[in-house]
Amino acid sequence: MSQVQVRLTPILLVLLLAAGGSGCSVLNFTTEMDVMATSTLDSVRVYQDAGLTSDGVNWGERGIDSVQLELANVEPYHLVRFECDGHLPDVVPVLPSRRNPLKWVDAGLTVAGIAAIAVGIPGDQTGLIVGGFFTAFYNALGLLFPPKKVYAKTLEGPALRAIPTRREDQPLVDMHTVDLAIDSGHYEWTYYEDYSAYLEGRDNYLSGDEDAIKLTDSNLDAAPRQLLIDHGFLPESNTLFSDVEKGELSCAIEHVMEHRAGGMLRYDVKTAWAIHNPYAMATDTVRITSSSTWSGFVIGEGLRRDLLNDCLLDALVTVIDGETGLNWEAETSRDVEAEWKADWDTLSLAAQFGGERRISETLDAVVTVTSEGGHGSGCILASEGWIVTNHHVVDDTTAQYEVHFADGTSLPANIVRWDPVVDVALLKVDTTGLSALALRPTNDPVDIGDAVYAVGTPYDQGLDATVTRGIISSRRGKGMEQRLQTDVSISPGNSGGALLDEQGRWLGVVNAKLVAMEVDGIGFAIPVEALPRALRLKLD
């Protein structure tokens, strides 16, 4: 072998090392992770995060029980979701937890490059020195650049919380409402540098929203209601007018704490739960703090519905599992109506019965009821200033209400009494000599198919005394919740107006229209025969 060949061989070896191995740890793009769901459950579905939107994480299903996931090492975290029928889902945040093994290769080649330089310097072997330099340089850079840590090779799934199935001795349960009742300063967020800081409680700073968030009857009741249906607490065929006896839960979201940790987000939410009664009488109330699963954080997204739902479902399971001490039997057997009306004396009013009128002759007996929040309609029950409307038209007891008459005059109105179950209220204005509606006698019941007229103020005050025509479609419900179904045209503002027969006699108080896509001609009115009991009246 010639001297040139002897000198070239180490140079070629060093250059080969430099070309083939320099900074190879940077090219460690993915980790194959073996995921094993909890051994106590079968058919656990495993999902991996596949993107993030303002609505939450997009999940990609990867398999059942035992799966292999491909995790990008350049990502700061991954989320793995576990679901199993009959259990609440859970999400495990996965972070890089072990040193990139190829960093050892970079470290070794860096040392080898330095050694090559050291060998080449005494013999003035330029090629060896140059090759050693580039080998040491590029591999040293590989040591500095990410990924410095990569994901673990295995992950064991968490234990999932079981959702109880209703027993025969447990009551049926429905969700009446979920309210947002977040006072000023009760929507907060805490920042953590990373997930480890969150686990150790090392927050960077706390901030909050000074604006209150108040919303009665939010649309957050859909997920809790579906859970109740799925686990036998609520019949799936629950209809608008159901004869099924069931208790109802009211929930209010009172405090939201966001934990923001290294791009991830989690909620702690305090909710107040009570067995609903429609008269808002005092009842047992329990407060539960529950946590959501982990998700990704999107700047400026506001309250996240998916995470609120997680917290609501977790708290609901605590309630139906009997862990809260809510006295279902005592609350559902209370005669709340009697308590509500215990101080009411029977009012004797001089009402009119029977007689025939043209519809046009009844218009001055239907009024418009206004407040700063909007308007509704009302019916003159007695000439001494007694007016009936819907409770939901005057449900804000702090508001000032005014009654506008057909002759253009108006008077302030006092709310005398109301029944939120029947949805009626009795108003009094300081006047006499009003033209009152004539009630259809109870011994002459309305029949399905009979023609009827609705009189009220739809949509705008300028449309007062509007008349629309239809028929009685059916009678729905029973007892104090009975309603007359009609196809007469009803619009916002008609609430509290009159439903009349062809002789101009008063049949009912218009109170609702069924609003949905592809639904038309379904309205409801409260029969006038419900007024005496609902408002404790004696009509002479």
Asked if residue 144 is part of any domain, the answer here is yes
Average pLDDT of the chain, as a whole number: 88
DSSP at 319: H
The closest of 363, 315, 329, 370 to 498, measured between CA atoms, is 363
Q: Does residue 430 share a domain with residue 332? A: no
Q: Does residue 77 share a domain with residue 143? A: yes
What is the pLDDT averaged over residues 2-20? Answer: 49
Domain encompassing residue 123: 1-162
Asked if residue 342 is part of any domain, the answer here is no
* Highest mean pLDDT of the ranges 1-5, 15-19, 61-65, 114-118: 61-65
Asked if residue 78 is part of any domain, the answer here is yes
pLDDT at 459: 86
Cα 23 from chain centroid (whole Å): 50
What is the pLDDT averaged over residues 351-365? Answer: 92
**Contact indicator for 324, 273 with CB cutoff of 8 Å:** yes
Higher pLDDT, 51 or 500: 500
Asked if residue 488 is part of any domain, the answer here is yes
Asked if residue 341 is part of any domain, the answer here is no
> pLDDT digits over 379-432, tens only?
999 999 999 999 999 988 888 999 999 999 999 999 999 999 999 999 999 999
Q: Does residue 403 share a domain with residue 506? A: yes
Of 162, 189, 213, the residue at which a domain comes to its end is 162
> pLDDT digits over 108-151, tens only?
888 888 888 888 888 778 878 887 888 888 888 878 888 888 99
What is the reported pTM? 0.80
> pLDDT digits over 187-229, tens only?
999 999 989 899 999 988 888 888 999 998 888 999 999 999 9
Q: Does residue 392 share a domain with residue 450? A: yes
pLDDT at 112: 83
- Is the backbone peptide bond immediately before 147 cis, with ω within 30 degrees of 0? yes
Of 105, 128, 162, the residue at which a domain comes to its end is 162
Q: Does residue 468 share a domain with residue 377? A: yes
Task: Kindly tell me if the per-residue pLDDT of 514 is higher than 70.
Answer: no
**Contact indicator for 377, 457 with CB cutoff of 8 Å:** yes
Asked if residue 277 is part of any domain, the answer here is yes
What is the pLDDT averaged over residues 41-57? Answer: 90
* Helices and strands (H, E) in the chain, number of each type: 9, 33
Higher pLDDT, 132 or 173: 173
Asked if residue 413 is part of any domain, the answer here is yes
Q: Does residue 181 share a domain with residue 105? A: no
Q: Does residue 419 share a domain with residue 298? A: no
Q: Does residue 189 share a domain with residue 256? A: yes
What is the pLDDT averaged over residues 457-465? Answer: 89
The pLDDT confidence band at residue 243, using thresholds 50, 70 and 90, is: low
Q: Does residue 235 share a domain with residue 183? A: yes
pLDDT at 2: 45
Q: Does residue 423 share a domain with residue 308? A: no
**How large a percentage of the chain has pLDDT more than 90?**
58
Q: Does residue 245 share a domain with residue 385? A: no
What is the pLDDT averaged over residues 55-60? Answer: 89
> pLDDT digits over 64-113, tens only?
999 999 999 989 999 999 999 999 999 999 999 899 888 888 888 888 88
Cα three-residue angle 338-415-423, rounded to 5 degrees:
55
What is the C-alpha separation between 540 and 529, in angstroms, rounded? 13
User: Count of domains in the chain?
Assistant: 3
Of 336, 355, 385, the residue at which a domain comes to its end is 336
Residues with Cβ within 8 Å of residue 460, at least 6 apart in sequence: 493
What is the C-alpha separation between 463 and 472, in angstroms, rounded? 24
Instruction: Please state which of the ranges 51-60, 235-244, 323-332 shows the lowest mean pLDDT.
Output: 235-244
Task: Kindly tell me if the per-residue pLDDT of 241 is higher than 90.
Answer: no
pLDDT at 15: 52
pLDDT at 3: 45
pLDDT at 239: 67
Asked if residue 52 is part of any domain, the answer here is yes
Q: Does residue 200 share a domain with residue 142? A: no
Task: Kindly tell me if the per-residue pLDDT of 20 is higher than 50.
Answer: no
